[in-house]
Amino acid sequence: MRPKKAKKIVFKSAEEMPIMICSVGDQTHNLTGAWRNIRPEIDLSKCIKCGICWKFCPEPSIDVVDEWPVVDYDYCKGCGICAEECPAKCIVMVEERR
């Protein structure tokens, strides 16, 4: 799992800024999981460990740990692409618990 210590960077002056518009740190302070309305839940008993959910996740918020997929809910926005692509149909999108 990635560290989540990063803070939002705000430059105090133009002189400190890189001249090109590029990321200077990471965006891990921005916990996009809070945007989620539906969440993926993986039924590992049906999982065939093909890695397709990991490959398709656009964020990317699915890690493979000891060959099994694990969703990082701090960042998963709930787009549902993993559930759509899963060939074993072992991922379902369920309404987010608030």
Partner 1 sequence: MKKVIMGNHALSYGAMLARSQVISAYPITPQTQVVELLSEMCADGSLDARFIKVESEHSAMASCIGASVAGARAFTATSAQGLALMHEMLHWAAGGRHPIVMGNINRAMAPGWSIWTDQNDSLSQRDTGWMQFYCSSNQEVVDTVIQGFKVAERLMIPAMVVLDAFALSHTYEVVDVPDQKLVDEFLPPFKPEIRLTPADPRAFGGLTGSDHYMELRYLLQREMEKAPALIEETGREYEKLFGRYLGLVDPYRCDDAELVFVTSGTAGFTARVAVDELRASGVRAGNLRVKVFRPFPFDRVREVLAKVKRAAVVDRNCSYGAGGIFYQEVKSALYGRPGMPPLFGYIAGLGGRDIMVDSFKEIAADAMSKDRAEQEIVWIGVKK
Interacting residues with partner 1 (CB under 8 A): 10-11, 13-14, 17-24
Q: How far is the CB of 7 from partner 1 (least distance, A)?
A: 14
Q: Cβ closer to partner 1: 19 or 97?
A: 19
Nearer residue to partner 1 within complex by CB, 23 or 45: 23
Give which of 81, 78, 82 is closest to 95, Cα–Cα: 78
Q: Considering beta carbons, is residue 13 or 45 the nearer one to partner 1?
A: 13
Cβ contacts of residue 14 below 8 Å, gap of 6+? Answer: none
CB of 68 to partner 1, least distance (A): 27
Q: In the structure encoding, which two tokens stand for residue 2, read together?
A: 């990635």
- State how far the Cα of 72 lies from the Cα of 21, in Å rounded to an integer: 28
Q: How far is CA 44 from CA 50, 63, 64, in A?
A: 12, 14, 12
User: In the complex, what is the shortest distance from the CB of residue 25 to partner 1, in angstroms, rounded to a whole number?
Assistant: 10
